[in-house]
Each structure stands twice: as structure tokens, then as C-alpha cells.
Amino acid sequence: MTTAPAAVVLLSGGLDSTTCLAIARAEGYRCYALSFDYGQRHRLELECARRVAEAFGAERHLVSRIDLGAFGGSALTSDLAVPKSGSADEVDRHEGVPVTYVPARNTVFLSFALAWCEVLQADHIFIGVNALDYSGYPDCRPEYIAAWETLATLATRAGTEEGRKLRIHAPLMDWDKSRIIARGVELGVDYGLTTTCYDPDGQGHACGHCDACLLRLRGFARLGLADPAVYQPGSRG
């Protein structure tokens, strides 16, 4: 009997990373879910990540504390206002790197995933990055992921063993939000467990107006599905 291969899956508790975990499980990996407590303003994400990891039978769920906030520079970890747009189409037209970009976030996250891979002797990392939505994030591009695979293989014990190679799986890379949701629904994801909003209220209800909410809502709408997430009264959700 062969053992299923192990994979570290980056899990924020949002729609994309949850779908990514579902895909990794469907592909037969034993999944080690990794979340970060990085001073994000709302802690709801971590609670969602915990529930999602449990729902998908992750072997283990680890929350690693890091203080990216010490560097400053992002609306998600500091007091800068989260920008609101009128519609998802308006979000599409944004240019440049949004202020919600956390400096080098995916690089930091992947480096921790790599550390865990080494300890687990795992050769696979799953990350739910997406080049279509949020095209302004430099660390969500295919060439970035390719560079990471090269680096990861060189960086670790695996790279010193003949024929071994670290693989970074980014299955959502080219998918639009609707396709991500459709695949997740197929795999039995309950999106009511996930959170996407950059600016939820005290009860964890989504704002319905930040870029992340707008893109998510449009994704569900295009499939003719209702988003099971709870939105604030009076918001468009």
C-alpha cells in the first residue's frame, strides 16, 4: 500500500484557499493546513480557517504567528482605510498595486510552508493565488510561482537529493472567480464557512463593498447562485 503524498496547503479561510484545499484533497494529498496570524485587523479569518481545515479532514492545522505589521505599509495590517469601489467591474479597471497588498506576503507565507515541508518531508505546496482577480499583486503571477519552485528545490534538503523536486501547485492561477466557485461547489465546499471581506463588522458580517466582496458576489451571481456568506444589513449581499 502506498501512502498518499503529503502537501502543505496555505489556508486563509477565504474562498480561494478553501477551494484550493478541496482540490488538494480531491487529488489525494494528505493535507497539512497552514494559516498565519500576521496582525490582520480581523481575526475572523483564522476561525474560518480552523473550521475549513476540520471540514476537509486536514491532518493538522497550524497557525503561525508572524509580525509583518511591524514593517507597516498595508491597509490589511495597519490603520489605512480599506478602499471601497462601486462595482466588481470598477475593481477590474484598477491599475497598479492596491493598498491592501501586504508587503511580500505570499513570499513570507511560502517560505513558512517550505519550512514545514522540510520537517514533514513533503514535496508539495498548494497556494490559492490567482492572476486574474487582483492582477495588481505582483506575487500572484505564474512567473512568480515558477521562480518559487526553482528556489524551493534549491533551498532545501530535497534539492540535495537526486531527482527530488519541490512542487508549488497553484491550481486557481488562471481561473476566474465563477470557475473557482463552481469547482468548489462540485467538491462539496460550504462557502458559508469562508470569509473574504477586507472589512467585516464585529459580528463577522461581510461589508459587501470592498473589492474582495464585490468580486466574490459577482462570481456567485454569474453562476446564478446565492452567496451563503452573511452580509451586513443594507449591504448589497
Interface positions with a second copy (CB under 8 A): 62, 64-68, 70-73, 96-97, 101-108, 110-112, 114-119, 138-139, 141, 143-144, 147-148, 150-152, 154-157, 159-160
For the CB of residue 168, give the shortest distance to a second copy in the complex, in Å: 11
How, if at all, do strands 167-169 and 30-37 pair? Answer: unpaired
Least Å distance, CB 146 to a second copy, is: 9
CA-to-CA distance for 127 and 17, rounded, in angstroms?
7
Residue 205 amino acid letter: H
Give the nearer residue to a second copy in terms of CB position, either 104 or 225: 104
When the beta carbons of 137 and 191 are compared against a second copy, the nearer one is 137
196 grid coordinates: 473574504
Q: How far is the CB of 26 from a second copy (least distance, A)?
A: 26
CB of 63: closest distance to a second copy in angstroms? 9
Closest CB 234 distance from a second copy, rounded Å: 36
Q: How far is CA 201 from CA 43, 196, 226, in A?
A: 11, 13, 21
For residue 162, give the C-alpha cell. Answer: 537526486
Give residues with Cβ within 8 angstroms of 71, minimum separation 6: 103
Nearer to a second copy, 26 or 146 (CB): 146
Give whichever of 51 and 141 is closer to a second copy, judged by the CB atom: 141
Q: Cβ distance 60 to 38 under 8 Å?
A: no
- Distance separating alpha carbons of residues 232 and 229, to the nearest angstrom: 10
Of the pair 79, 143, the CB lying nearest a second copy is at: 143
Nearer to a second copy, 110 or 213 (CB): 110
Smallest distance from the beta carbon of 136 to a second copy, in angstroms?
A: 8
Q: What is the DSSP letter of 2?
A: P
> Could you give the count of Cα atoms lying within 13 Å of 133 in the half-sphere of its Cβ?
22
In sequence order, the β-bridge partners of residue 125 are 8, 168
